[in-house]
Amino acid sequence: MSKQVAVILSGCGVFDGAEINEVVLTLLRLEQQGAQYQCFAPDMAQHHVVNHITGEEMSETRNVLVEAARICRGAIKDVRELDVTAFDALILPGGFGVAKNLSDFAFKGAECRVQADVLAALKAFAAAGKPVGLECIAPALAAKVFGAGVVCTIGNDADTAAAVEASGAQHQACVVSDIVEDAQCKLVTTPAYMLAGSILEASQGINKLVDRVLALA
């Protein structure tokens, strides 16, 4: 029987939502490895909308769930419907949406709060001893889920690593092509576009993360 993986998205677009390449690479690798997945996102307004050509904020409002649906061709559910008993593992791709929509890490750093429904889902997997994969900036939420001492990586950015450690996690420097695993927590992390200069580079660590999460499931 194929393994079932929940994937939580944070919108659509690197600057205000989920990093699209990371999501597609994750879903592709899951299929390549014979796993099945279901995408989820919170039904809430985005923090803001960014013009991805100019980088400037736009005067409009968008919904995280509706925008995330663009990436997975509409096959998505409200994260409040995520039942941990129906899945073997959970993966959270990165993008600024993780730090702006799923949490306020972009604004409060170590003192951030995670969106309640997303936090509940992540904690449910942790409590059940089921593996979790966090990509790119998503490991910044690790201590909020697993508690102080959890080992993770966002790559090698000194300021972000310092904020991750201030939150209670143990940060481990990592190259783009590799992963960091906290065996006790069954947490796997990879830098992805925190370091990647291309989709090919991003795929190396993401493929390893997906493979390891499935092996742990």
The residues annotated with a catalytic role in the active site are 136
Q: What does the alpha-carbon distance between residue 195 and residue 151 come to, in Å, rounded to a whole number?
A: 18
The string of DSSP letters for 144-200 reads HHH-TT-EE---S-HHHHHHHHHTT-EE----TT--EEETTTTEEEE-GGGT-SSHH
DSSP letter (8 states) at residue 44: S
Q: What does the alpha-carbon distance between residue 141 and residue 167 come to, in Å, rounded to a whole number?
A: 8
Distances (CA, A) of 211 to 51, 59, 92, 94: 34, 41, 14, 18
